[in-house]
Amino acid sequence: MALAEPVEAAPPGPTASTDAAGLGRARAWLFVAPGLVLVAIFLVFPALWTIYLGTTNYELLGERKVSPEFVGLDNYTDTLADPEFHDSVVKTLLFVFGSALVGQMCLGFAIAWMLRTAGVWVRRTVETVVLMAWILPGSIVGFLWYAFLSEDDGTLNAILPVGDSAWLVEHPMWSIVIFNTWRGTAFSMLLFTAALATVPPSQLETARLSGAGGWQQLRDVVLPNIRGHILTNALLISLWTFNDFTPFLITGGEGSEILPIYIYKTALTGQQQLGLASAVSLIVLLINLVVALAYLAMLRRRRVR
Amino acid sequence: MAGIVLERLSKVFPGGVRAVDAIDLEIADGEFFALLGPSGCGKTTLLRTIAGLEAATSGTLRLGDRDVTRLPPGARDVAMVFQDYALFPHMTVLDNVAYPLKIKKTPKQERYARATETGESLSLGELLDRRPAQLSGGQQQRAALARAIAVHPQVFLFDEPLSNLDARLRLEARTFIKRLQRELAVTTVFVTHDQAEALAMSDRMAVMEAGQIRQVGTPREVFRRPASVFVANFIGSTPMNLLPATVADGAVRTGGVELPVPDEYAARLPSGLDVVYGIRPEYVRLDGATGTVTGEVSVVEHLGTAELVTVSTTAGEIRAVVPDVDEPAVGDTVGVTFSAGQALVYRAEDGALID
Amino acid sequence: MTPADVVRRIGFYTLLCLVFASFVLPMLWLVSVPFDAKPSLSVSVPDFTLGNFETLADNPSAYKSLLNSVIISAGSMVLVVSLAALGAYALSRVRIRGRDALLYALLLLSSIVTGTAAIVPLYILLDELQLLDSHTGVVLAMSGGLLPAALFILKDFMDTTPRSYEESARVFGASPLRILVDVVVPIARPGLATIAVWTVVQVWGNFLIPFIAYNDPDRFPAAVRMFTFYTEAGQPNLLLISAFSLAYAIPVIAMYLFVSARYGFRFHGGIKH
């Protein structure tokens, strides 16, 4: 963001006062306070409250709403024994591994790699189209895929030579994995495009002069150089995919009960067991925490190097 | 119109860094005063403390007859021109120049009249409705100056005013600013790391190191009689010759050679004292084959109409400035003569001038 | 070029075409069916008409939901930009102890407390505050989630803005408030604009929070309304849905084009959720 002004002066040294407008500490706190209050009420408090709620049998309606009881760790033991929960965990792992780690990363990398040698217009067109899939609102892409995969009238069935299938009903997990790959590849593509640009051309040229072919250059020069990017990207998109609710918009949650949908169903459908759902939520939040911390640690290590 | 008086002024940063260390200084009303020194010496911090952007840790600061030590920056009646000019990019030149008057609540008509007048006096008349980005470097500087002038402050503070201009423009700007300051007769303090600039523009200057003032004086005084080895090293386009020597029998000797000193030193050199003999290359002559000491020419550097010749002698590496017609060749043996009257003797122990 | 090279090149471009096709296919519906008088779930050459948009205009639940989207997006934008601007400026300029730790903690928190894991207590909270089924509640909830990242980005931006403008104005006697209005805000405009656009895009497309927060269908924003259109009982009204989805999608596409034309697509390394 170039600001229109003459050569910037060096800032007055690390020990000079940075309070340029003379705000003062009191006013600074005043400025920061409203934002902090908002975040405290709508982000911090709910997160902490989850811990308490997970130990009650709070439900949305009826007696258990008015006077919920403390049930200790019952919610947790019930959950961990629940076969539906196990099923959900398996589905979630499949979803994250299949659509994020394999799908988005590989496809994103492949596209970034190929586009390096493509012409300007080809690159712009492909990038735009991939990007569109990412920036369109979730409800719209949800419907587009609902229509695309529709048994009666969907475009996929129309163009495939084999007989019409009810993709969403018969293969819900495949549907959401392919969908999410399509949806999120743009991020990996952009990230790898930037990462590939940091590979020193001189190293690639050295390899080429030594006789290394395309695959070998990839293996010996490119991948080692962007290893850090691969790791941080993997962590980040795994975190996002793990918490993604969008598949609900395509399958309505049937046959594809990944954890986000499992929590939703427990909390707001059927018996509407908010206490139980809070317990599961806490498990998910803790997993998120671990992944996020790993991500930050990776970032810091990359920056130091 | 106001003089500036600093009494034991200090600025200590959290962590103990004494950026300004108990400075005593008096700047006369209307004087053009330079703060000179290497980076990190505290000159910018001192300027910012005078402005009020840094709060002094201890000591007092007076502008005219007011004690402004605890006053906020806006109440001190000073105007500061920053190194990057800080012209607000979203305002026209005219609005920029009028801005300080707007803060002081000058009525609209009057402030635009004053701004226009000031702008025109600095040849910005045609450019008043342009944005800063559309101006050249020199024009931007004049606009920043106009903004400082229009508000008629008691003191001008300039932070490295010329460093953002390219070399050719810098020389023109030097003359321009000096003339301007003379006309306005407003007390001006400017910070620079360029000793030539300080020597050329200031009425008096202070050479700073590590938060303290090492010497205050007119350019001539500081150039002719640097008060310490540090100042001697810092001032002058060509580095002063600084030869380690010892006093023996009332004379300064090194490498088997007696170095000539002015008569006034006669009584003041205790025997056995380790000293540093200082003499500017401009006062060293290479006359023929004999002299105080002889040696071999090792380097010849071309300076334009003169040459900077380095001669290896038993007294050390001696530099002399020689007119280009007398240019010796590398490897020649020459005799080195010193103008005794220009020599300075410093105590080796603390670098201070012996006088 | 050897024959092997030619073959390789053809293979390369075929691959790219496949990639392109696979991404475009599901989206074709959006550009053709809204203009099709005989819409179907599959894509075909449209029987061109603009009549579907009239159907949209005649359907109050549809255009009202778009209006609701505008309301909550605009409301969140105002809240996030103003709170983030004030906070980021103060954090950038004034040394508050633990400032960096605070920012990282906030950012970490907003990355962790996301998705359905966050909604259970949020739902009860909104219920207790009697903010369920209200635009205010949704705006507050979403702003709270977006604020940490906005603060982080804006503070970073402010750090790289030279201080000499503010110091200059201060030496001339301007009060801090004056400096903010006259100097800081105009100069920070690009950063504020980026945050504003980002907030609008996030809120415009957000499904989950409005989905759980609203009961009254009249209050549904377009994200939720879209979902109900094709999942409610009976045959989905494709005349309506097609036009509606295009109308819902266009603002986001327009914003993307605007931002990428103005600033190039800025890759913040992981901010978009």
Q: Express each pLDDT in A141-194 by its tens digit.
A: 999 998 888 877 778 887 787 777 788 888 889 999 999 999 999 999 999 999
Q: What is the pLDDT of residue C256?
A: 84
Sheet holding B241-248, edge to edge: B257-259, B251-254, B241-248, B274-279, B344-347
In CATH, the architecture of A76-268+278-304 is: Orthogonal Bundle (1.10)
Using the structure block, give the residue that is written with the tokens 């006669």: B266
Q: What is the pLDDT of residue B38?
A: 94
Task: Say yes or no to pLDDT of A64 above 80.
Answer: no
| Residues contacting residue A221 through CB under 8 Å, at least 6 positions apart | A199, A203, A204, A207, A212
- Residue in chain A nearest C191 by alpha carbon: A1
Cβ-based burial of A57 (10 A; exposed 0-12, middle 13-18, buried ≥19): middle
- Considering only CA atoms, which of B291, B289, B284 is closest in space to residue B306? B284
Q: Which of C94, C187, C263 sits opposite A19 (nearest CB)?
A: C94
**Can you say whether the dihedral through the CA atoms of C128, C132, C137, C142 is positive or negative?**
positive
Helices (H), chain B: 43-51, 93-103, 108-121, 137-150, 167-184, 195-201, 219-224, 229-234
Burial B151-164 (b: 16+ CB within 10 A, else e): bbbbbbbbbbbbbb
Best of C160, C161, C171 to substitute, by most chain B Cβ atoms within 10 angstroms, is: C171
Q: Decide if C173 and B83 are in contact by the 8 Å CB cutoff.
A: no
What is the pLDDT confidence band of residue C50, given thresholds at 50, 70 and 90? confident
Q: What is the pLDDT of residue C166?
A: 92
Task: Say yes or no to pLDDT of C73 above 90.
Answer: yes
Residue A65 contacts residue A59 (beta carbons within 8 Å) = yes
Which subunits sit against A, judged by 3+ Cβ pairs under 8 A? Answer: B, C
Tokens of B230: 């540090």
Long-range contacts of A163-168 (CB under 8 A, 24+ apart): A168/A250, A168/A251
Contacts of A13 in chain B (CB under 8 A): 40, 44-45
φ/ψ of residue A13, rounded to 5: 90, 150
β-bridge mates for residue B78, sequence order: B155
Q: Decide if A147 and C147 are in contact by the 8 Å CB cutoff.
A: no
Task: Say yes or no to pLDDT of B140 above 90.
Answer: yes
Mean pLDDT for A57-70 is 79
Using the structure block, give the residue that is written with the tokens 């001032």: B235
CA pair distance A298, A229, nearest whole angstrom: 9
Sheet holding B187-192, edge to edge: B78-81, B155-159, B187-192, B32-36, B204-209, B212-217
CA C203 to chain A, closest CA, distance in angstroms equals 10
**Can you say whether the dihedral through the CA atoms of C182, C185, C189, C193 is positive or negative?**
negative
- Name the DSSP letter for residue C127: H
What is the pLDDT confidence band of residue B318, given thresholds at 50, 70 and 90? very high
Segments of chain B assigned E as strands: 4-13, 17-27, 32-36, 58-63, 66-67, 78-81, 155-159, 187-192, 204-209, 212-217, 241-248, 251-254, 257-259, 274-279, 284-286, 293-302, 306-313, 316-323, 333-338, 344-347
Q: What is the pLDDT of residue B1?
A: 60
CA B136 to chain A, closest CA, distance in angstroms equals 9
Count of C-beta atoms within a 10 Å radius of residue B120: 13
| Residues contacting residue A155 through CB under 8 Å, at least 6 positions apart | A147, A148, C25, C26, C28, C29, C41, C42, C43
What's the gap between Cα B31 and its chain centre?
A: 14
Q: Which of A6, A7, A15 sits opposite B19 (nearest CB)?
A: A15
CA pair distance C120, C137, nearest whole angstrom: 15
CA distances from B122 to B131, B135, B142, B160 (A): 17, 14, 6, 20
Tokens of C108: 């970490």
Which carries the bigger pLDDT value, residue B23 or residue A55? B23
B167 three-class SS: helix
Q: Decide if B72 and A15 are in contact by the 8 Å CB cutoff.
A: no
- Report percent pLDDT > 70 for chain B: 100
- Name the DSSP letter for residue B158: E
- Considering only CA atoms, which of B66, B43, B67, B38 is closest in space to residue B54? B43
- Report percent pLDDT > 70 for chain A: 94
Q: Which of B78, B80, B84 sits opposite C162 (nearest CB)?
A: B84
Average pLDDT value for chain B: 91
B251 three-class SS: strand
φ/ψ of residue B318, rounded to 5: -115, 135
**Where exactly are the structural domains of chain A?**
76-268+278-304
CA pair distance C130, C137, nearest whole angstrom: 8
Q: Which of B75, B76, B82 sits opposite C164 (nearest CB)?
A: B82
Q: Is C130 left (phi over 0), alpha (psi -120 to 50) or beta?
A: left
Using the structure block, give the residue that is written with the tokens 């075409």: C17
Which subunits sit against B, judged by 3+ Cβ pairs under 8 A? Answer: A, C
Q: What is the pLDDT of residue A91?
A: 94
- Considering only CA atoms, which of A284, A280, A278, A283 is closest in space to residue A59? A278
Nearest 5 degrees, angle CA C204-CA C103-CA C118? 50
Helices (H), chain A: 24-39, 45-53, 63-66, 74-81, 83-95, 105-115, 120-135, 138-148, 155-159, 167-170, 172-197, 201-209, 214-217, 223-225, 227-242, 248-251, 259-268, 274-304
Contacts of A4 in chain B (CB under 8 A): 89, 131-133
CA A21 to chain C, closest CA, distance in angstroms equals 5
CA pair distance C190, B43, nearest whole angstrom: 35
Mean pLDDT for C136-140 is 95
Q: What is the pLDDT of residue C236?
A: 78
In terms of average pLDDT, the best of A65-69, B269-273, C43-47 is B269-273
Q: Decide if B80 and C168 are in contact by the 8 Å CB cutoff.
A: yes
Please tell me the total number of residues recorded for chain B in this structure: 355
Q: What is the pLDDT of residue A5?
A: 34
Residue B254 contacts residue B244 (beta carbons within 8 Å) = yes
Nearest 5 degrees, angle CA B260-CA B262-CA B268? 100
β-bridge mates for residue B61, sequence order: B6
Cβ-based burial of C210 (10 A; exposed 0-12, middle 13-18, buried ≥19): buried
**Where exactly are the structural domains of chain C?**
3-49, 59-262
Q: What is the pLDDT of residue B182?
A: 93
- Name the DSSP letter for residue B134: G
Q: Decide if C171 and B104 are in contact by the 8 Å CB cutoff.
A: no
- Considering only CA atoms, which of B223, B222, B148, B215 is closest in space to residue B187? B148
| Residues contacting residue B322 through CB under 8 Å, at least 6 positions apart | B285, B286, B306, B307, B308, B309, B328
Q: What is the pLDDT of residue C264?
A: 58
CA distances from A276 to A215, A281, A285, B312, C121 (A): 51, 9, 14, 90, 12
- A4 contacts chain B (CB < 8 A): yes
CA distances from B136 to B72, B88, B92, B169, C42 (A): 33, 15, 14, 11, 61
What is the pLDDT confidence band of residue B174, given thresholds at 50, 70 and 90? very high
What is the pLDDT confidence band of residue A2, given thresholds at 50, 70 and 90? very low
CA pair distance A171, A152, nearest whole angstrom: 15
Tokens of B225: 């009689």
What is the pLDDT confidence band of residue A304, given thresholds at 50, 70 and 90? low
Using the structure block, give the residue that is written with the tokens 């290896």: B312
β-bridge mates for residue B322, sequence order: B307
Please tell me the total number of residues recorded for chain A in this structure: 305
Count of C-beta atoms within a 10 Å radius of residue C261: 9
- C185 contacts chain B (CB < 8 A): no
In CATH, the architecture of C59-262 is: Orthogonal Bundle (1.10)
Model confidence pLDDT, tens digit, residues A12-55: 454 667 888 888 888 888 999 999 999 999 999 999 998 888 88
- Considering only CA atoms, which of B217, B142, C151 is closest in space to residue A32? C151
What is the pLDDT confidence band of residue C272, given thresholds at 50, 70 and 90? very low
Tokens of C224: 């939720």
CA pair distance A184, A181, nearest whole angstrom: 6
- Residue in chain B nearest A12 by alpha carbon: B44
β-bridge mates for residue B308, sequence order: B301, B321
- Considering only CA atoms, which of C115, C86, C65 is closest in space to residue C226? C65
Best of A3, A8, A30, A32 to substitute, by most chain C Cβ atoms within 10 angstroms, is: A32
Mean pLDDT for A254-274 is 88
C172 three-class SS: coil
Task: Say yes or no to pLDDT of B17 above 60.
Answer: yes
Residue type, A89: V
Mean pLDDT for C3-32 is 89
Residue type, C33: V
Tokens of A271: 């018996």
C216 three-class SS: coil
